[in-house]
Amino acid sequence: MARLNLSFLGSPHIERGGAHLLADTRKGVALLAYLTLQSEVESRDYLATLLWANYDQQHARAALRRTLFQVKSALGEGVLAVTRETIRLLPNADLWCDVIDFHNHLIEQRAHGHAEGELCAACRSALVMAAALYRDDFFAGFHLADSSPFDEWRFFQAESLRRDMIGVLDCLVQNYSAHGDYGAAIAYARRWLALDPLHEPVHRWLMRLYSWLGRQSAALRQYDECVHILHTELHDQPERETTDLYITIKARQLTAPTAKVPVSSVTASSPVLVPPLPDTIASITAVQWEYPAFVGCLSELKHLHQALQQALRGQGQVVFVTGEAGRGKTALLREFASQAYAAAAELLTVVGFCNAQTGSGDSYLPFRQILRLLTGDIQSVWTRRILSPAHINRLLHSAPATVQCLIEHGPGLIDTMIARSGLMKHFSVNGNRTFSLGEPLSGAALGRNDLAEQYVAVMQALAHHQPLLIMVDELHWGDEASINLLFHLGRQVMNSPILLVGAFRQEEIKLGRRVPNLRATSDGGGPFYEEMRHPLAAVLNELRRDFGEITIDLSQAHDHHFVDALIDIQPNRLGSQFRATLYGHTQGHPLFTVELLRAMRERGELVQNEAGQWVESPLLIWDKMPAQVEAVIQERIDRLPPSLRQILTVASVEGETFTVQVIAQVLGIDERLLLTQLTQELEKRHHLVRKGPDIMLGSRMLNRFVFSHVLFQRHLYQQLSSGEQRLLHKAVAAALSESSGKQVEEIGQG
């Protein structure tokens, strides 16, 4: 039987073998948590009073008996020892509990007896693992309204664990800062601030860390945030030390301390391949690296973190993130990579990208990029900025181990997936040791399946030393060889500490691919094209059989709360009318919203007042779309054959909502054919329209459709010349009149 997993840090979750247990009995969850953490023999009378304080003793014991039956039925034998009068958790029960594991990591660190503020590699690793376990406060969001004794116990448990977590974060911030790893220190300081937002020392830590990284504006914004929260919550001013630090940073007079030797688990006698880049790590960690602000997608991030925790326990996972262009897939990967770096000290994060330009002509592109990253070639992703300098730092330190794994487990990958000359260029040998890359192997000597097996073997061997987060973006552009390798890797990660995350546009998968049909020729002698199923579609179905639901869909991940959060990243006086209008234009689409706000600032339509707050200017124009938004929309429209583009162009004249019968009459086509094209092609395949509410006018039913985004309608309409607009308005009005008699206005408002 699989091990029982008890997660109480955050919303409680109990599972075994992937099955969620006790989901329908809150009292059962509370009972199991109490018995697990108290680890003592408890009387039935005491437990009945603890959980059913409002009942008399007889009814409380009866309720306990029923709940205990549910718990035992769900957990099976070997977990609880139950007598007529007592209940306890068996000492040898096969279970894992995050709270117990959290405490064990703290005990491990404290047992080393270092001076305050000093951590060895093992100590820091223990604290990092403890921090990774702390998803949220103990039993977050869990409350038993009729059990005040249990709620009191839960409250004190949560407060104690919170204090311990703050201590962990304090140590990690100090340690990573002392060793010059400011990216990791910032990640932990942010978590510390989330737990204790009124604690000025952590605000000062963040101000210093941002400044040391060259992020001057972020350091000054941190001071503004400190001032704001102290005034709002306490009606108080920052301490003198905080204000003095602000003045020093603003004058650019804060200097970074001299970093200690990095904490490392490599001993002096270890054979190590050293990249001949003596200044690279220092220059990377010192570079100014401003990321776009990330808001929203909390549930999606939680899903990814849960998958990461399972992977770190040796239960490899596969997750795919999907959404149309501009929905925030890459931004989500970037934010998750940043948070994952802070959550797991040994985690190596790599990313590869498929390419729209090269497509199927560049075999294994993302996986070649990943292998180059792991062996120290940072140029592959330097311009993409998915990985931070801190990630690159960690990859460079682990590169020697990767090369050893490559030599031992994937010799056939050298000269096929990674250039021998590149490895020789990036690595020299420490001391008198030498290494051999073996004899060159011709590409023909290694078949596709053999290559995939060696690649997977290298990843598994490397993950045995350090867990891996492997991300592949733009999978919809992936070549068949890359998707085949993705499938092989996905099937083999189950028993390895590997999290494989892919991202793709769902609409591209549904569209499939056009491939030349070389068996047929057109009248001009050229090949016909035929529509083929996208190779990723079959891979997704196969991996779902192994892992269950593996897709995070961002198509509905953002709403007006996202718009509010994005606006409020910077101080502003933009009121409810502006926010509602912005949401009406973008409907919460991340790319559209971000680009429209940026364009408004660049055009002077949003300006900063004397207090540094963004306000509307008299120049504000809502109808002008940014070039990047226009490009995304045009890309979607350009995929359509001329007949479908013509349908949408006429529909745009009627408005965001349009009528099938009207469009059919204007274009002179059969209503049933048009309805099929709208439903099967434009709605289900291209996701450009959706079915709207039909209306009855007299004895006639009129079918309505709505553009999936108002900006599609506006873009199509604005592509028409004034003469075309005038003629089509006339034709649409005539068709409306003929379809509805005197009820044209009613349709237009429908």
Q: Indicate whether 546 and 464 sit together in one domain.
A: yes
The string of pLDDT tens digits covering residues 48-94 is: 999 999 899 999 999 999 999 999 999 988 899 999 999 999 988 99
Would you give the DSSP letter of residue 2?
P
pLDDT confidence tier of residue 739, bands split at 50, 70 and 90:
low
Pairing verdict, β 317-322 and 498-504: parallel
Domain span at 215: 197-259
**Of the residues 134, 159, 187, the one at which a domain ends:** 187
541/614 same-domain check: no
Residue 73 located in a structural domain? yes
Domain boundary residue, one of 259, 276, 307 = 259
Instruction: Specify the long-range contacts of residues 541-548, CB closer than 8 Å, at least 24 apart.
Output: 542/487, 542/491, 543/318, 543/487, 543/490, 543/491, 546/318, 546/490, 546/491, 546/494, 547/317, 547/318, 548/18
Mark 42-78 as b/e (b = at least 16 C-beta within 10 Å): bebeebbbbbbbebeeeebbeebeebbebbeebbeee
In a domain, 11, yes or no: yes
pLDDT at res. 283 = 44
CB within 8 A of 238, min separation 6: which ones?
Answer: 200, 203, 223, 226, 227, 230, 246
Task: Give the list of residues 6+ apart from residue 748 with CB closer than 8 angstroms, or none.
Answer: 654, 655, 736
- Domain containing residue 713: CATH number: 1.10.10
Q: What kind and span of H or E run contains 273?
A: strand 273-274
In a domain, 247, yes or no: yes
Q: What is the pLDDT of residues 106-119, one digit of tens each?
A: 998 888 777 766 78
Instruction: Say what the pLDDT of residue 279 is.
Output: 40
For the residues 402-424, what does the mean pLDDT come to? 80
**Can you give the pLDDT at residue 199?**
94
Do 338 and 184 contact (CB within 8 A), yes or no?
Answer: no
8-state DSSP, 682? I
Provide, rounded to the nearest whole percent, the portion of the chain with pLDDT above 90.
29
Residues 23 and 171 in one domain: yes
Give the integer Cα–Cα distance in Å for 718 and 304.
40
Is 289 contained in some domain? no
Query: What's the pLDDT band for 426 if we cut at 50, 70, 90?
Result: low
The confidence band for 286, taking pLDDT boundaries of 50, 70 and 90, is: very low
CATH code where residue 97 lies: 1.10.10.10
Q: Quick one: average pLDDT of 454-470?
A: 90
Q: Are strands 428-429 and 95-97 parallel, antiparallel or unpaired?
A: unpaired
Q: Are residues 139 and 213 in the same domain?
A: no
Residue, of 296 and 629, whose pLDDT is higher: 629
Does residue 132 fall inside a structural domain?
A: yes
Beta-carbon contacts of residue 169 (< 8 Å; ≥ 6 apart): 131, 188, 189, 191, 192, 195
Residues 573 and 658 in one domain: no
Closest CA to 127 of 69, 84, 170, 190: 170
Residue 515 has a pLDDT of 56
201 plus 325 within the same structural domain: no
Residue carrying the six token digits 């006429």? 650
**More confident position, 47 or 560:** 47
pLDDT tens digits, one per residue of 519-573: 544 445 544 455 677 888 888 888 888 888 888 887 765 566 777 777 877 788 8
Asked if residue 272 is part of any domain, the answer here is: no
If asked whether residues 356 and 412 sit together in one domain, one would say yes
Q: Is the pTM of this model over 0.85?
A: no
Who wins on pLDDT, 640 or 48?
48
Q: What is the mean pLDDT of residues 488-493?
A: 89
pLDDT at residue 16 greater than cutoff 50: yes
d(Cα 672, Cα 302) in Å, to the nearest integer?
45
Q: At what angle do helices 298-312 and 329-343 cross, to 10 degrees?
A: 50
Cα 479 to the center of its chain, rounded Å: 24
Residue 192, domain member (yes or no): no
What is the tally of structural domains in the chain?
5
The CATH number of whichever domain residue 395 belongs to comes to 3.40.50.300
Would you place residue 501 in the very low, low, confident or very high pLDDT band (cuts 50, 70, 90)?
very high
Would 223 be classed as within a structural domain?
A: yes
Residues 543 and 598 in one domain: no
In single-letter form, the type of residue at position 339 comes to: Q
* pLDDT value at residue 619: 78
The residue to which tokens 């270890």 are assigned: 270
Whether the pLDDT of residue 124 is over 80: the answer is yes
Residues 480 and 504 in one domain: yes
Let me know whether 244 and 311 are in one domain. no
Out of 169, 187, 205, a domain closes at 187
Residues 103, 40, single domain; the answer is: yes
pLDDT mean across residues, the chain: 80
Q: Are both 380 and 490 inside the same structural domain?
A: yes
